[in-house]
Structure 1
Amino acid sequence: MIHCFSTRSLWPRLAAGMLTLASGWLIGCSGSDEVAVMGDWRRRSDFEGVARQAAAGFIINNIAYVGTGTNADNERLTDFWGYDAARNTWTQIADYAGTPRFAAVGFAVGSKGYVGTGLDNNSDRLKDFYEYDPATNAWRKIADYAGSARRNAVAFTIGNKGYVGTGFDGNYLKDFYAYDPATDQWQRVASYSGPKRLGAVAFVLDGLGYVVGGNNNGINQKDVWAYDPAQDTWVEKDEFDDEETVARSYGVAFAIGSKGYVLLGDGNNTVWEYDPASDSWSDDRGAFEGSTRSYAVGFAINGKGYVTTGSVGTGRLDDLWEFDPDKERDSDD
């Protein structure tokens, strides 16, 4: 049997010192040497609130919750919506109980969701946090973030704790704190080991929190570090190191199965897949098929990735796209 590979797909394997056949990398050959691309996008039900950028979100029981952000008039928002991927429908939930804001962060621990930090209507930085309980459809205030008030931080969940760090408080930041819902307390953990930054993205694989990209002093970053809560340490991983300019900020990230995905931000539609087994990145998944955008929200449910909202220039977006990494892309796309 003959296997064909696109030229661009070879670099992560060569960098790893060997040619590897992994999920999604095996492609067929035709007489015309066409290269099949695994990873298909399809349009789903539009976000039902007003179009917006820099929203926050989290997932509880396979429902994605998205809210806050700014509309086309740059007004800060408090409305929140839940997306049921199985039904492909949006349902409005209780408005966020805190000050209207954008550039906040969200994460979920167990059956509760958490949203905090960001910028208010006066562009003042915030550090308050609120907890959402879908069982009662209600928000309640919890302990303020223990670090400084900030915007464009990054957040992820490992086990029974949420982690929030980096961002901008008038200076670029690299500190990190863990939130324990059982005690309603924040605890300082090891600071991010790379340069300070805002606008990074994160995903979690095998109990490690990966932080990718962001901007430091006007320069987009391409380094990748993984946080190990058991050791309270950051481990440097393979950076985006191909010939393209792939450093970025204000993109989206999510994890599906054993792989992480990073895309969008700063005019780049390429879908980058991270394999922790080989510590390598591949662009074999092609490109996002919606509008190039920044400040979008990304999440994953039941083996599919999703991208919604965001901005193109001064325009705001409300479309929703679903990514299936195991489906072959239509040759007409």
Structure 2
Amino acid sequence: MIHLPFRFLSATDSRSQSVASETLSALVTKKTKKQQRINWALGVLCLGWTGLLVGCSGSSTVATLGDWTVKSEFEGVARTGASNFVLNNIAYMGTGLDNKSQRLQDFWAYDPAKNAWTQKANYLGAARNFGVGFATSNNKGYIGTGINVNGDLLKDFYEYDPAANTWKKVADFGGTARYQAVSFAIGAKGYVGTGNDGNYLKDIWSYEPTSNTWAKVASYGGAKRVGAVSFVINNMAYVGTGNNNSTQQKDWYVYDPATDVWTQKLDFTTDQASIARSYGVGFAVGGKGYVTLGSGTSTGTTVWEYDPATDLWASLGAFEGAPRAYAIGFAIGNKGYVTTGGSSLSAPYDDLWDFDPTIEQVL
């Protein structure tokens, strides 16, 4: 049954019509006649509106842009808090925490052209979780920081050469040992910052592979935090969300390495409610950024698209796997990817999904 969004007003008394009512009809006021004309007009409008609804009722689905497809599941053990980077259209991922709370050292590569995983040389540093990774224009990848099996915070860093499938130690991270930091790369430099060294942090450091040195750059523009997300569009890094002393964050900043300046952008929020979160995933595809998953009071699986040209957020469907935090997100070509993570640190996943923002998702 279709319920029309109008409440019709009666032009006459609703009681049974009798001779007495016929007599009363002669006494109808001008106001009542006017109401009758209004009701008649509304009735005509509703008939047209009803026809439109009936015409649409043949389909019970709603479509929105942004569709997810399940891919070849990760071949290593399921995990949370892994580290990753992308080089030459291949995603590399390793370390993390398994369902027995054991830190991991294994390292894997995913080729989307083959939809296949290949195990690589184990990470050279100690087994760890909650480290960071990035890849620079020298065709090398880097992983460091995090927590080891003894619960020690780490600041060591290692370089991976995909051509030789080898690791080597490089200069320790320039800041304090920490975990749950954020990282990104712009051109020849990698950047690491925020996180927790026993206190929440907002400092940012850049790494130059040629000189093998770290340098402190401008600190993050917002509050201190752990579990933030980042992505890079047109050589500008966008960073936001996270957790600051148990308070979920929704602010959003862009970093320009040319000027070493952080600029605040529109908060990661909607008109309806805050969607602040931590430990989510972020990636950039086609000049736009995407954020989803994580932990927070209203996090859910909605995918949020950020357009740097307009500084606006919009929802784009929903992640089709299980809700999770501590996952890995990355982009290759015109698609984004999400893998691992868990409903908790002790309940990890090993599925892999790709995201195409140009295809309709049927809800």
TM-score by length of 2: 0.81
Give the equivalent residue in structure 2 for 1:225.
253
Higher-Rg structure is 2
Q: What residue identity is the alignment partner of 1:271?
A: V
SS of the equivalent of 1:241 reads coil
How far apart are residue 268 of structure 1 and its match? 2.1
How far apart are residue 112 of structure 1 and its match? 0.4
- 1:135 aligns with one of 155, 163, 166: 163
Is 1:276 aligned with 2:301? no
Deviations 1:32-51 (A, max 9, x none): 49642011101000001000
Give the equivalent residue in structure 2 for 1:248.
277
- 2:213 aligns with one of 179, 185, 188: 185
Give the equivalent residue in structure 1 for 2:339.
308
Native 8 Å contact 1:246 1:268 kept in 2: no
Deviations 1:92-113 (A, max 9, x none): 0000000000000000012100
Is 1:173 aligned with 2:201? yes
How far apart are residue 263 of structure 1 and its match? 0.4
Q: What residue identity is the alignment partner of 1:307?
A: V
Give the equivalent residue in structure 1 for 2:351.
319
Q: What residue identity is the alignment partner of 1:245?
A: S
Instruction: Tell me how far apart the structure 2 counterparts of residues 104 and 38 of structure 1 sit (CA, whole Å).
Output: 33
Is 1:299 aligned with 2:330? yes
- 2:56 aligns with one of 31, 41, 49: 31
Native 8 Å contact 2:269 2:276 kept in 1: no
Instruction: Tell me how far apart the structure 2 counterparts of residues 209 and 322 of structure 1 sit (CA, whole Å).
Output: 22
Is 1:109 aligned with 2:136? yes
Native 8 Å contact 2:250 2:274 kept in 1: no
Q: Would you tell me which structure has more helix in proportion to its own residues?
A: 2
How far apart are residue 235 of structure 1 and its match? 0.4
Give the equivalent residue in structure 2 for 1:90.
117
Deviations 1:280-321 (A, max 9, x none): 1001x1110000000000001110010000011331100000
Q: What residue identity is the alignment partner of 1:308?
A: T
Give the equivalent residue in structure 2 for 1:3.
none
How far apart are residue 229 of structure 1 and its match? 0.5
Native 8 Å contact 2:195 2:225 kept in 1: yes
Greater relative contact order (Cα < 8 A, sep 6+): 1
Q: What residue identity is the alignment partner of 2:314?
A: S
Instruction: Tell me how far apart the structure 2 counterparts of residues 36 and 119 of structure 1 sit (CA, whole Å).
Output: 43
Is 1:154 aligned with 2:186? no
Percent of aligned positions with the same letter in both sequences? 57
How far apart are residue 245 of structure 1 and its match? 3.1
Give the equivalent residue in structure 2 for 1:14.
none
Q: What residue identity is the alignment partner of 1:320?
A: L
Range with greater deviation from structure 2 (305-314 or 248-257): 305-314
- 1:207 aligns with one of 231, 235, 241: 235
How far apart are residue 158 of structure 1 and its match? 0.6
SS of the equivalent of 2:63 reads coil
Native 8 Å contact 2:123 2:167 kept in 1: yes
Q: What residue identity is the alignment partner of 2:108?
A: W
Q: CA RMSD in A?
A: 1.1
TM-score by length of 1: 0.89
Instruction: Tell me how far apart the structure 1 counterparts of residues 257 and 217 of structure 2 sit (CA, whole Å).
Output: 9
Native 8 Å contact 1:213 1:223 kept in 2: yes
Give the equivalent residue in structure 2 for 1:259.
288
SS of the equivalent of 2:202 reads strand
| Structure 2 unaligned spans of 5+ | 1-54
Give the equivalent residue in structure 2 for 1:81.
108
Native 8 Å contact 1:54 1:69 kept in 2: yes
